[in-house]
Amino acid sequence: MKHFVIFLAALATISCSSRSAVSVEQLPDAEGRVARVEPLSWWTDMNTPLQLLVNGEGVSKYSLSIEGGKGVKVKTLHKADSPNYIFADVEISESAEAGTYYLVFSDGETKFKYPYEIAARREGSAARESFTTADMIYLLMPDRFANGNASNDSTNATAEKADRNEFFGRHGGDLQGMIDHLDYIASLGATTIWPTPLLLDDEPHESYHGYACGDYYHIDPRFGDNDLYKEFVAKAHEKELKVIMDVVTNHCGVSHWWMKDLPFKDWVHVFPEYTGTNICFSTNMDTNAADYDLHIQESGWFVPSMPDMNLNNPFVLQYFKQWAVWWIEFADLDGFRVDTYPYNEKEPMSEWCSAIMAEYPSLNIVGECWTSSIPQLAYWQGGNNNKDGFDSNLPAIMDFPLQEAICHALSTDNPGWGQGMTRVYDCLSHDFVYHDLQNMLIFAGNHDMGRIGDVVRKNPGRLKIAMTLMATMRGIPQIFYGDEMMLCSKDLSQGHGGLRVDFPGGWAGDKVDLFSESGRSGLHKELFDYSSRLFQWRKGKSVIHNGNTLHFMTRDNTYAYFRYDDTDAVFVYVNNSAETKRVPWSYYAEICVGLHDGCDVLTGESVTVSDDTQVAPYSAFVVEYKR
């Protein structure tokens, strides 16, 4: 009997050993039981906590572990309101090795696996540099820039099909078109590219702009795919061009996959009936503002097709933190531009910025804070001494007040008191309000406003003035694609659809090709050469990147200023009037005494400026000196 008991015990041991010997690789695959896991992958040696969103029919009934390697484990599982989600906090130890791990699901009877990649982090990734005042940013809309692959203009998997004749339709521009014309962007003197969003936007109408995201982890197939996006960034880097990703944390699109089954009831802001934002940014800092008005500003939907994300939900906030980090790491990005920044809940967005900067201390992030109020704009820049103690942790802001002043000046023929170029002077006289002038993004136009060519009513001289201001003023300049050659709206009555024109030469069969040097002639060549000369020169000018500004008051639609440091000075004189003007050089005696070796930046010729120097109507004069 004793021997029989020993035999049974041994048999049991063998049986258990046999069961435990089944490797995780031998478990059946998820086979449709897991629809998606986000982030799509992760890396070793990261600071950002990893929380997996797992989505699948009834997936919350399963326990979840991570197997297939050492140093990676599930710490905590969180169930959502919907039974079709699990949120898993994952711990990756310092000793964890890169490789393929497996998410193992079990309900006690059924067990299956889902592969998950944890890769080795790119060397030096955390220390990556970003865009600064030494850069010029070229903003383009992928759908309207160049069509490098006509086969993906429409796809079976996406709702809206391409029709180049539709003002608000898809025209077919894509990532391959952007790759094909990197040399053009570099030849202009740009050093950084900002494409409007490239992620899936599957709205049935007007989806070309990309601001109604349908999937935060996949490039829209009409632009290409994730691998092609990574290739675009790599090829841009080969040409010494940085890449900024345009991100939207405030809202998604109604066609986003999760809108059919929200993880939590408060994943997006929900009202008894549709409620739009009141667009009252002042409620964020106004000590007299009603809480209700602030609530509607933060929580109201941008438009009916763009549900407002609830960043006060900690799972939503964590989702967007690691999503941003994932794209930086995956694609090797150089910075972010954040759309509709003040529409977000400000405290969670401050935490979002802080989390990204903790992972990438030198990364720059610029926020779209569209306001004409200089004090309200300054409020949003990180480090500002706000009365309420709020710190956005947002490094850079877009200078909308300066853009407004420039465009008003360049569209005015007979300015009244305080108008014309005096508005530009007045705008810069408020620079004392800002915390960090180095991190102001300056621009004359972008994808949401009238093209500068339309603003100046096709006056090439005033277009050149705009480019001169962008190349020489404080801050980080941004140019909207085609503005360098005064592209104008196709039809002003069509608003955004009319101003977001196709770049000539970006489509097979275009009669004009402005991408190629041989295709540019006449005014197009003149304007391109002017802008290229300025921005190529700007690249190596520390006095422009980091110098101080000294400007002088006049009220005759001219504007004069110096950019200077201890060794160099650049003099800029703008004549925005219809009359030839004499430069009042002696008026600038406090700085011009001692300047020498004057060189006209635009001609390369030596020049001596005096009270007799004349500047033609609608033109700018730029001279660099040694001090």
Provide the annotated active-site residues.
339, 368
Instruction: Indicate the DSSP class of residue 421.
Output: H
Q: Please give the helix or strand (H or E) that residue 592 lies within, else none.
A: helix 589-592
Residue whose entry in the numeric block shows the structure tokens 């709206």: 489
3-state secondary structure of 323: helix
Name every residue whose Cβ is closer than 8 Å to that of residue 434 and which is 6 or more positions away in sequence: 374, 378, 381, 384, 440
CB-side exposure of 593: number of CA atoms within 13 Å?
A: 4
d(Cα 162, Cα 223) in Å, to the nearest integer? 12
Count of beta carbons in the 10 Å neighbourhood of residue 260? 7
DSSP string, 573-589: EEE-SSS-EE--GGGGH
**Sequence-distant contacts of 226-231: CB under 8 A, at least 24 apart:** 226/330, 226/331, 228/175, 228/176, 228/179, 229/175, 229/198, 229/331, 230/330, 230/331, 230/332, 231/175, 231/179
The per-residue DSSP string of 337-371 comes to EETTGGGS-HHHHHHHHHHHHHH-TT-EEEE----
CA-closest candidate to residue 153, choices 90, 207, 100? 207
Work out whether strand 215-219 and strand 242-247 pair parallel, antiparallel, or are unpaired: unpaired
The CB density around residue 24, as the number of other CB atoms within 10 Å, is 17
Smallest CA-to-CA distance from 520 within 490, 486, 547, 491 is with 486
- Reference 344, options 376, 320, 363, 327; nearest CA is 320
Task: Give the separation between CA 618 and CA 464, rounded to whole angstroms.
Answer: 8
Q: How does DSSP classify residue 268? A: B
3-state secondary structure of 572: strand
Rounded Cα gap, residues 324 and 363, in angstroms: 12
CA nearest 403: which of 376, 438, 428? Answer: 428
Residue at 6: amino acid letter: I
What's the rounded Cα separation, in Å, for the pair 380 and 386?
9
